[in-house]
Structure formats: C-alpha cells, structure tokens
Structure 1
C-alpha cells in the first residue's frame, strides 16, 4: 500500500521482542513506518509477542523494495500485503498463503469533490479518473467500481497520475482520484479540500476484493506453524488494544515513526488511526477472520479482469488454521 508512506521517512531499526522459542519471526511491513501499522508496534511495546513466547523483528521495506522480494529470499517470514496481491503472487508461482485478514473493509475508494455529480458507479461513464498506475489496490478498486457500474475502463478516461492525487484533483485535471479512505481522504480534509468517498458496495459485488492481510510461504507454515500461530494471536491482541486505546497506540508508535513526537503529526496520526479502526473488524466484530466467499468472488473477478496469469483456486490461497481458536 503506497499510501502508507504519507507520514514518514526511514526509521530506526526497532529492537527484537524477547521471546524464548526458536528463531525470530520477521514480519515485513510494506513501505515506510506509519500509524496504520500501529497494531504491530503496540504488540511489540506491550509485550504481547514476548508473552506468547516468540521473538519478533519488525522490518519496513522502503518504497522501492519489491513487495514479496524479502519473503522469496527468506529474509521475512510473514508479509503484510493485500489479499488481491497475494492472489497475483500465487498466479506467478509464489506459494504464499493468507493467514489473517487485517482490513475487513476494502480501504480504497474514489475520492471526488463534495459538489461532484458522481453519486454512484454508473456515473463514472465518460469521467476522467486518476489512479497511481495499472497496479495495486487503487487500480483493482477502480476496476471493481467500474464493473459495479456496468462499465469497463474504456467507458471512462483513466489517467495514471502517480501519487499526486491532491494536485490532480485540486488542479481539475481529473474528476476523481483513487485513494485510501484512512489516509488520502484525511490528507484532503487537512489541506482544506473537502471530498466524498465513493466506496465499493458489499451488495453489488464490488467488495469482492480482499484488502490488507498477513501472508506466509507454505514452507514457513509447514516448518514453523506453532510460532506463526503465536505471532498471529499476539498481533490480533495488538490490533484489539489499538482499537480500544487509539491515543496510547499513537504514543507507543513514536518509537517506530520518525517525527511522531511533533504535536501536529500526532493529531494527523490519531485521525488516520480513527479512520482505520472501523476497517479492522468485520460486521460481527471479529478480527483476522478469513471469508471464503469473498475469496471466491475475488478469484473470479481478478481472472475476469485479466489481473491473474492463470485461474487460481481461491481455497489454495488462504488458511484459517493459524487464527486463534474461539
């Protein structure tokens, strides 16, 4: 998720948690440190990993690193990535498995000016729509919105604008931009540009996309399944604590996010975190839950849109056995 780079530059390398069993679990949190990764920082700082008996290294990729590169090389055991990105990786012969859902509501939407005449996906016909490029969750979300409106990319004017959403929308170069509801929408608000979010509909099939999740290679799961279960359980504890104590979560994240001791950045981080909290639980209030029906819909949608090199059986791409037992 490129949007997570908004607040930060490279951070100091955090220390390990003091577990007692086996080698450390290294989790790759993509791009630069950001408050959206607070559940992992919180789990580290509150000692949840330590109390689970595992050692955890938090590793940030930086903006230029390949999403799954370190996982492929064995430098990471678990990676934070979209379920849709995991499915693409499997289609390219990377045996990665989704082991927990981080966001249950897809975090991408089309952001339009408040007075825009775009009210529903069908209104996108003939509109100029900006997205960073033909990749990642912003692009997948755009395709899903268009399909929900009975449209294809040929029915709109799609512009690849890089990560210049604010400049493109404020400069009237586009009618709407794809962005993250818990990051880009906050940035627009703070800059004095009010926007509305056209979200994917769970009823119209647009929500047939799996957002940020935790993935691991099958070989890692086979070899270190118990440690992975402990990691997932402790991370979900960190997620619940972050939901319940957002202000403390911002404070605990200061060690990981450069510049977060600044009051203005703390206010921004809290706003982002408050917008992130509703994404973390499903409609039943569950954390981490993997929904087989959404995975099935996503596999069909992505193959139909030409986003997969081959048809993937969705059930091969996830495994709920690493979630805590209720």
Structure 2
C-alpha cells in the first residue's frame, strides 16, 4: 500500500471508530395510555437530547392500558414500558418476562367517579350499576381487590367498554353510572361536574399498591444492562427537573403530543407530584421501589387473583439504577 492509500485507510478506520462511538442504541418505550402530564419528563428529556447524549435512540409509543403494555414488554415487542405494578405482576405470572426498575406513582392512582344526582352516595351504592372503562384498564383488572375491600360482590357491577377519551362524556350523558380514572385527571372532573361530582380514591378504603412503574423486558435487561441503567438515569433526572420546574416539561409534552391543552396538563402535573411522593421516594430516591411495599403489592394481587405461576416478588424489581442523590420533594 502506498502512502496515500495508507492515509485513506487510517482515515476510514478513524471514521468507523468515531461512528461506532456515537452510535445510539434503539430503545422503544410503550406508555400505559395516551401521553399526558405524567409522561412530560420523557418528552422533555427527549427534546433536550439527554437520551441521545446517553447513547439512546428513544422511541415513545402510545399505549392501550397497563395490561397491554405489560404484555408488550413481557414478550419483547417493546424494551421498556409503563404499567401499573399490580397489573404487571399478573402478566408476569402468566409468563410475561418483565422487571420493574423505577416507580412513577408511589401511590395508587385509582379513583372511581360518579354523579351524585345518579343516586350514588357511597361505594355501597355501586351494586347494580355500570362502570365505564377500557377492557385493559388497570382498575378493571384490579376490580376484585376493590370489591372485596369495599364489601361488594365481584359481580356487583357491569363493565361497559369505553375509550379513555370518552369516559367523561359517557358519564355526563348518563350512558354509564361510574367511570374509573387516575387521580392526575382529578381537576378536569371537578371542572366538568362541579358539586355533582362524587368520587372515592382507592387509597381511601385501604388499597394503596404501587401504581404506574417503569418495567423492562427481562431478556433485554440481561443483555443490555448498561442501556437500561442509562435510560433510568436520564429518566430519573428528567422527573427531578420537572418537579423543580414543570414549565419546560409541559411545553415539550404539548409540542410532542397532539391534542393536549396546556392548562389542563399543568393541573395534572400537580396531582402527579402527589402520587410520586411517599416515605421512600422522599428519603431514599425519586422512583424508589421499596421491598416491603412491593411485597404488599404482590400479596394484594396474589390474594385477589388466581396467579398462573406464583413468583418471588423480590426477583421482579430492582432499584439499583437509581441515583440516591435525587429525592422526591414532599407534597
């Protein structure tokens, strides 16, 4: 090889090495539902280039319920997802290969809403009523637990399939008596129904399992541990940044996802912060999954569902990727 050829060869090798060094690992995350305020830190970090800087080419996909996202992650269609932890545990017992790596809602987000004018005063009046929600809605999956805690028979209500965006209009039109929703959308219900709004948070009757959590496919975690660690690091930092100043995060969400009203997302984020804060996330790490609380969530699922294959819940989560210097602020 002559001198010129050697120079070109060296340059090619350097270019190849540089390209390899900056290559981004493709990573797909499926949300629990359509994008809302609780997902704004993901859009903010994506907009800021934090995932790219960490070597991750992140793709955000809209979800269709915790059950569907848990299944998708469990079979490896998506590398990472967001799902209510109890629902994820049900999926794991059915063979879904998944591990929780960070909590989003340290508290249960479930709420049942109704109109007082419908004649419902308390949960005791649910008997014979209809509840509107999607088939994969976590509240529908976890209904047996609520029914037992509320002193109702499991078949006390009838479920009606309702799309997420149709819940409020359907109840307003008296097509269903009750709807289930997450607490982060509480303010919109108040604005819509005013003094006629009745509701019960699941935590009010003693049901407070972990809510939405970030879950990762088990095989992917084993083979791409560094990528998962980088994802969790960026995501935890993004949520911390949005807790401290939500304005740029809400802006990124509204710019990145269509059909959202900024004012409503601001209100939602205030409720999200309430759901994120507990004794563990405020003292150990934002997103921390506590062993005892995870065990209680598993026990709740194991009590009210016939798990296909019981498992050790300590093997179904890890908090090892979280930065203990980043702590949630008390709300």
TM-score, reference length from structure 1: 0.78
Q: Which residue of 256, 273, 285 maps to 1:277?
A: 273
Per-residue deviation, residues 174-224 of structure 1 (Å, max 9, x unmatched)? 5432222212x333334344524311237x5411x2211111122222222
Per-residue deviation, residues 124-149 of structure 1 (Å, max 9, x unmatched)? 46352414256431214543332222
Quote the residue 2:14 is aligned against.
none
Unaligned runs of 5+ in 1: 1-18
Quote the residue 1:244 is aligned against.
244
CA drift at 1:109: 0.8
For 1:228 and 1:206, how far apart are their aligned partners in 2? 31
Quote the residue 2:234 is aligned against.
234
Unaligned runs of 5+ in 2: 1-20, 326-331
Quote the residue 2:222 is aligned against.
222
8 Å Cα contact 1:87-1:312 kept in structure 2: no
Quote the residue 1:107 is aligned against.
109
8 Å Cα contact 1:130-1:158 kept in structure 2: yes
Secondary structure of residue in 1 paired with 2:69: coil
Quote the residue 1:130 is aligned against.
131
TM-score, reference length from structure 2: 0.77
8 Å Cα contact 1:31-1:60 kept in structure 2: no
Quote the residue 1:6 is aligned against.
none
Structure 1 residues 109 and 136, CA gap change in structure 2 (3 angstroms): same
Per-residue deviation, residues 64-91 of structure 1 (Å, max 9, x unmatched)? 9942565356453211122122212211
Secondary structure of residue in 1 paired with 2:92: helix
Quote the residue 1:5 is aligned against.
none
For 2:169 and 2:255, how far apart are their aligned partners in 1? 31
1:295 aligns to 2:294 (yes or no)? yes
For 2:71 and 2:138, how far apart are their aligned partners in 1? 18
Quote the residue 2:255 is aligned against.
255
Quote the residue 2:328 is aligned against.
none
1:80 aligns to 2:82 (yes or no)? yes
Quote the residue 1:268 is aligned against.
264
Secondary structure of residue in 2 paired with 1:33: coil
8 Å Cα contact 1:147-1:206 kept in structure 2: no
For 1:108 and 1:274, how far apart are their aligned partners in 2? 16
Q: Which has the larger radius of gyration?
A: 2
Number of paired residues?
298
For 1:241 and 1:31, how far apart are their aligned partners in 2? 23
Quote the residue 2:167 is aligned against.
165
Quote the residue 2:319 is aligned against.
320
Quote the residue 2:190 is aligned against.
189
For 1:307 and 1:57, how far apart are their aligned partners in 2? 36
Secondary structure of residue in 1 paired with 2:105: coil
8 Å Cα contact 2:112-2:200 kept in structure 1: yes
Secondary structure of residue in 1 paired with 2:190: helix
Quote the residue 1:23 is aligned against.
25
Structure with the largest fraction of helix: 2
Secondary structure of residue in 2 paired with 1:56: strand
